[in-house]
Amino acid sequence: MRWIWIDKFVHFESRTRAVAVKNCSLAEEHLHDLYPAFPIMPHSLIIEGMAQTAGILVGEARGFREKVILAKVGRATFHRLVRPGSTILYDAVIEQLNDTGASIAGQVRFANSSKDRTDQLMEPGELVAEIEIMFSHIDQNLAGTKFPEHNFVFTEQFTELLQTYRSGLDIKL
Amino acid sequence: MTREEVQAKVVKVLVDALGVDEDEVKPESVVRDDLGAESIDFLDIMFRLEKEFGIKIPKGEMMVEGLATDPSLVSNGTLTAQGLKLIEEKMPHAAAELVVLKQDPKLDNVSKLFTVNSITNYVMTKLG
């Protein structure tokens, strides 16, 4: 099973900001699990999607050498439900980044559709959620705890998947 | 900025980071024991202090790091004289809390150095 909750990046500014797209389909089982007669994208998985968008942004900032772990969800405020057929945008901005970790201010918005645009997914629409999250570079943890040398966050499978994002993006993976 | 103004902002940072009520936060409050901070909250607090005051907090400056992994500083879970001396040198902002720590210098008690008072002292030194 692949625990990937974003479909592609549509914007990537190294060390600064990333925007990823998630298409929510009725074919996805998790939409049916929370309320069987009323399928929605669970809030917890929206937070996970933001964490993956932001986690890759934070990881790329250090050439994927650090083990970037979601350490804390400081605040998550939801304004709208996400129903099947919706496309949402995860917009993650790095507020702070240092040796020990990073803090992120994130917004989730519906993607507006437009018949006139080929890059319609770039159009941010109504606000779905505001999410503040924090990441730790766990090898730099304050307690000095040692972790395995192997980078179990950005695994080979994960970095292979990231190669698909390279097309159209000016980032080095 | 006066000490009172700095302390008020420190309290705001702790309220935001830890989800505690403002009236729970006293100058002598120990961030872990009294306000319920967990280890990862300390990183959050440092990020918020940097943002709130426009300062940079270098690694190991506000709180001495790596004590647990150095046997010359900690022996059998207790700070050695060398360990206490290092804290005294590196953390002058926590001088009052160190007096209390010396009475029971267990490694686990090091987090007692992290109080509203000592954080305020630290920020004051950073602001010059």
Q: What is the ipTM score, two decimals?
A: 0.77
Best of A72, A133, A140 to mutate (most B CBs within 10 Å, chain B): A72
Residue B62 near chain A (CB below 8 Å) = no
Domain containing B116 equals: 3-127
CA distance A84 to A27: 9
Contacts of A132 in chain B (CB under 8 A): none
β-bridge mates for residue B75, sequence order? B78
Contact criterion met (CB < 8 Å) for B47 and A71? no
Three-state secondary structure string covering A64-104: CCCCEEEEEEEEEEECCCCCCCCEEEEEEEEEEECCCEEEE
In angstroms, the separation between the Cα of residue B5 and the nearest Cα of chain A is 24
**Angle separating helix axes B39-53 and B116-127, nearest 10 degrees:** 40
Chain A residue nearest residue B54, CA to CA? A96
Q: How confident is the model at residue A29 (pLDDT cuts 50, 70, 90)?
A: confident
β-bridge mates for residue A8, sequence order? A21
Tell me the torsion sign for CA atoms B52, B53, B55, B56.
Answer: negative
Contact criterion met (CB < 8 Å) for B43 and A134? yes
Whether the pLDDT of residue A171 is over 50: the answer is no
Residue B44 near chain A (CB below 8 Å) = yes
Q: What average pLDDT does range A107-121 have in this prediction?
A: 69
Contact criterion met (CB < 8 Å) for A134 and B47? yes
Structure tokens at A101: 């970790």
Q: Closest partner residue to B44 among A74, A98, A140, by Cβ?
A: A74
Task: Give the pairing of strands A68-78 and A8-13.
Answer: unpaired
The answer as to whether A173 is a domain residue is: no
The answer as to whether A128 is a domain residue is: yes
Chain A residue nearest residue B18, CA to CA? A74
- Reduce the DSSP state of residue A167 to 3 states and report it: coil
pLDDT at residue A172, rounded to an integer: 47
The answer as to whether A1 is a domain residue is: no
Domain containing A34 equals: 8-163
CATH at A98: 3.10.129.10
Whether the pLDDT of residue A123 is over 90: the answer is no
Element (H, E) at A125: strand A124-137
Contacts of B51 in chain A (CB under 8 A): 95-96
pLDDT at residue A146, rounded to an integer: 67
- Reduce the DSSP state of residue A131 to 3 states and report it: strand
Q: What average pLDDT does range B90-106 have in this prediction?
A: 92
* Residue A110 φ then ψ, to 5°: -70, 145
CATH at B79: 1.10.1200.10
The answer as to whether A170 is a domain residue is: no
A-to-B residue pairs, Cβ atoms closer than 8 angstroms: 44
Higher per-residue confidence, B119 vs A34:
B119
B33-81 residue pLDDT tens: 999 998 889 999 999 999 999 999 988 889 888 888 888 999 888 999 9
The answer as to whether A82 is a domain residue is: yes
Q: What average pLDDT does range A62-70 have in this prediction?
A: 89
pLDDT at residue A162, rounded to an integer: 62
Q: How confident is the model at residue A173 (pLDDT cuts 50, 70, 90)?
A: very low
Contact criterion met (CB < 8 Å) for B63 and A142? yes
Under 8 Å between Cβ of B102 and B95: no
Task: Give me chain A's average pLDDT, please.
Answer: 83
Please state, for a pLDDT cut of 90, what percent of chain B lies above it. 77
Domain count within chain B = 1
The answer as to whether A3 is a domain residue is: no
The answer as to whether A2 is a domain residue is: no
CA distance A57 to A90: 12
Domain count within chain A = 1
Best of A75, A100, A133 to mutate (most B CBs within 10 Å, chain B): A100
A9-28 residue pLDDT tens: 888 899 999 999 999 999 98
Contacts of B69 in chain A (CB under 8 A): 144
